[in-house]
Amino acid sequence: MVFKFQINKDVEFNHDDDLLKKADQYRPKLLTNKISAKRLVELTDDPSKLENTGIKEVGDIEQLAQLKMTRNDHVIIDFGQHCVGKFAIHIEHVGSPMDAPVAFKVKFAEMPNEFRYDSQDYDGWLSKSWIQEEVIHLDRLPAELELPRRYSFRYVELSVIDTSPKWFAVFSKPTATIQSAVSSTNLRKPDFKDDKLNAIYQVGINTLQDCMQDVFEDGPKRDRRLWLGDLRLQALANYASFDNTALVKRCLYLFGAMTAKDGRISANVFTNQPYVPDDTFMYDYSLFFISTLADLEKHEKDEEVLTDLYPIAKKQWEYTRRFIGDNGEVVPDQQYVTFVDWSNDFDKTTAGQAITIYVLRQLIALAKMINDPELAKYEQELEKLKNFATDNQFDPQTGLFVSGKKREVNIASQVWMVLAHVMDDETNHQIMTKTVNKLFPVRGIATPYMYHHIDQALFEAEMKDEAIKLMKEYWGKMVDLGADTFWEAFEPENPAYSPYDSPIENSFCHAWSCTPIWLLSKYMSD
């Protein structure tokens, strides 16, 4: 399971100032709240938790001020909840006069297992600069230390590098000023009459809230970017909970304002600097601009947004046509990858065909809203795409879809064809029944992103019991392993899996994992 960095230096981008101004009109005023740490803890061996790493309380937070710390002393602070924000702490010295600076390391962790890893040992392909730790030198104490960077954490480890033999460092009053675009204080939460589902829903809310910042971030620990694939799923979860449509509109305007000159929409944009689109493009992510716009208009019709952004969605489809043969076959392009999931161990051709059908249906819905004269043309293209799928990618002998030259049978093909409703409802039910019988338990799928689509396909195929079972086995397993927020990557058969060669780089609060909020609200509400 690998990811290849794209470097496309020759791509030229649009910068539509009018659309960027509209994006800024929807910029949220971040809500902040200052909270205090709750307790002191230490790591324990616990086979029920992630990587056998649990915690136990060793003192209340007031006891921190009683610890006289010097060379190689350390302590772990627990804030009792996942935090996105800035860390502050008071530091004094006791003993003789300060004859040397105090040097100490601050290490932040979303999950306890992160403390098992030494950043010096990390040699993965992702930049180690994302590792959340700082080395601090202070020449004078007492001091009120507020670190300038934002972190994503629940736990903070303070490790004294050295003081002096003549005196000790004393830490006290650790606080976090946490931030989000939304508050869950008065959020009405459904009761599913099932403790596990209620817990999954709550952790989903925690995840979504902490990823709703200046934009819908993919993860507050790392990247901190606006990714289109994540946005589509976050927006759906948001409609079912916080219902902050303004933030969705802001994100759509950002993507719409900075398309490539050829019509492509970047997979992600940077917003922590003057707005910059990344030179990374993915076939399915670019198409999901159409989906996200259609989902918004379905949820809350906004004529201005539709008028502004429909031409951009339409241009994206015009670019997509070059990958569709006259017979309706979607021909993959090595340079315009179809993501589907982190894993590259399965063929994605048929999933790409289904995603194209799925998105074209939504473009047609938008075309009807705006009375696009090309509507009939879109409908003809849809029939070609569907006919190729049913005539060439569906195997009537097995009753399943096949993918690629080797006619591979994989979960992604079945799931996306069901979501695209290429077949009738009865056949979709049969496809997912065979999928469960032949391709479960799921193996080799690394992300909650793909698990979301598997679960949704089960719901769509009227297999509620199987969908709930999978949700409990997957998202529920994360809860059992100690998740406060849902993770970027998780393989139940290999809980320590990391796409970056070390869990120290894993994002344990990640946007695309929050979707049980939407799944439960859509398919389980009375």
In degrees, rounded to 5, the angle at the alpha carbon of residue 370 between the alpha carbons of residues 364 and 376 is: 40
Domain assignment of residue 156, yes or no: yes
> Which pLDDT does position 2 carry in this prediction?
46
Domain assignment of residue 151, yes or no: yes
Could you give the number of structural domains in the chain? 1
User: Looking at the DSSP assignment, which residues form a beta bridge with residue 167?
Assistant: 95, 164
d(CA 343, CA 447): 9
Phi, psi dihedral angles at 179 (to 5 degrees): -145, 150
User: Looking at the DSSP assignment, which residues form a beta bridge with residue 107?
Assistant: 133, 157
d(CA 449, CA 511): 9
pLDDT by 10s per residue, the chain, length 526: 445 667 787 899 999 999 999 999 999 999 999 999 999 999 999 999 999 999 999 999 999 999 999 999 999 999 999 999 999 999 999 999 999 999 999 999 999 999 999 999 999 889 999 999 999 999 999 999 999 999 999 999 999 999 999 999 999 999 999 999 999 999 999 999 999 999 999 999 999 999 999 999 999 999 999 999 999 999 999 999 999 999 999 999 999 999 999 999 999 999 988 899 999 999 999 999 999 999 999 999 999 999 999 999 999 999 999 999 999 999 988 889 999 998 889 999 999 999 999 999 999 999 999 999 999 999 999 999 999 999 999 999 999 999 999 999 999 999 999 999 999 999 999 999 999 999 999 998 989 999 999 999 999 999 999 999 999 999 999 999 999 999 999 999 999 899 898 999 999 999 999 999 999 999 997 5
Domain assignment of residue 77, yes or no: yes
The CATH number of residue 46's host domain is 2.60.120.260
Domain assignment of residue 255, yes or no: no
389: burial class by Cβ within 10 Å (0-12, 13-18, 19+)?
Answer: buried
d(CA 342, CA 220): 19
> Which pLDDT does position 343 carry in this prediction?
87
Encoded amino acid at 419, one letter: L
Provide DSSP, 252-290: HHHHHHT-BTTS---SEEE-SSS-EE-S---HHHHHHHH
Domain containing residue 76: 31-180
403 alpha-carbon distance from chain centroid: 27
Q: SS3 for 329?
A: coil
Q: Cis bond leading into 142, ω under 30°?
A: yes
In degrees, rounded to 5, the angle at the alpha carbon of residue 60 between the alpha carbons of residues 59 and 62 is: 120
E strand or H helix that includes residue 472: helix 464-480
Domain assignment of residue 288, yes or no: no
> Which pLDDT does position 4 carry in this prediction?
64
Domain assignment of residue 54, yes or no: yes
Domain assignment of residue 116, yes or no: yes
Question: Tokens at residue 119, please?
Answer: 């950043």
> Which pLDDT does position 14 carry in this prediction?
95
Residue 462's alpha-carbon distances to 173, 200, 431, 455, 515, in angstroms, are 53, 21, 12, 11, 18
Domain assignment of residue 424, yes or no: no
Question: Tokens at residue 234, please?
Answer: 């976050």
What beta strand segments (E) does 208-267 contain? 226-227
